[in-house]
Amino acid sequence: MNSLRWTIAIHEAAHAVACIALGGRVSSVEVLSDCGGCNMIELSPDRLAFAAAAGPRAEYLADEFDPPVMPEPITAKMPEAIADDSTEPAPATTLPMEPIAVHDDERIALWAISGHFGEPDSWARRVRFAYHVADQLITANRDHVVEIAKALYLRSRLNANDIEQITEPMELVA
């Protein structure tokens, strides 16, 4: 039985691996409590659709591979001098808004329709093609997806340098 966090890590790792295999770059990838995100850049619309399709198509790997064991949390007692400090906490700062994420299915559907508005019969065929390409990417790069997912599962967030260190010795197949 896999956990939701492990499934999300696999899903987001598949986006990252597909993006890199297709010639794009990943600036960051993260796992939150009940969702995740992968910032894929430098991809054509076609390749972005294929990378978007890779996430949901790879989720079966969460049942085939066990997640890494999470390390035990470090617990320490707060020194009394700090615990008794009655200073006011710093005011919360407002962080800049992140762009709103587009759901994978929506991204793929918009790609399938774009440029083919008058051809609704082609939309389903294009969606099936995107999933077919994603399946090929996942099959060819399965071990890479699992390695990225393990690091993501343990660390929650990977930046471009983290991803490069993990994928550098790998030869990704497009």
**Residues 7, 150: contact at Cβ < 8 Å?**
no
Task: Tell me: pLDDT of 98 over 70.
Answer: no
Distance, in Å, from the CA atom of 18 to the CA atom of 50, rounded to the nearest integer, reads 8
For residue 150 the two structure tokens come to 């393990």
Q: Spell out the domain ranges in the chain.
A: 4-70+101-167
Percent of the chain with pLDDT over 70: 78
Residue of 70, 54, 52, 57 lying closest to 3 (CA atoms): 70
The tens digit of pLDDT for each residue in 69-87 reads 987 766 656 556 555 555 5
Span 13-18, mean pLDDT?
A: 96
Topology of 4-70+101-167 in CATH?
Answer: Methane Monooxygenase Hydroxylase; Chain G, domain 1 (1.20.58)
For residue 92 the two structure tokens come to 């919360």
107-140 CB burial, b ≥16 within 10 A, e <16? bbbebbeeeeeeeeeeeeebbebbbebbebbbee
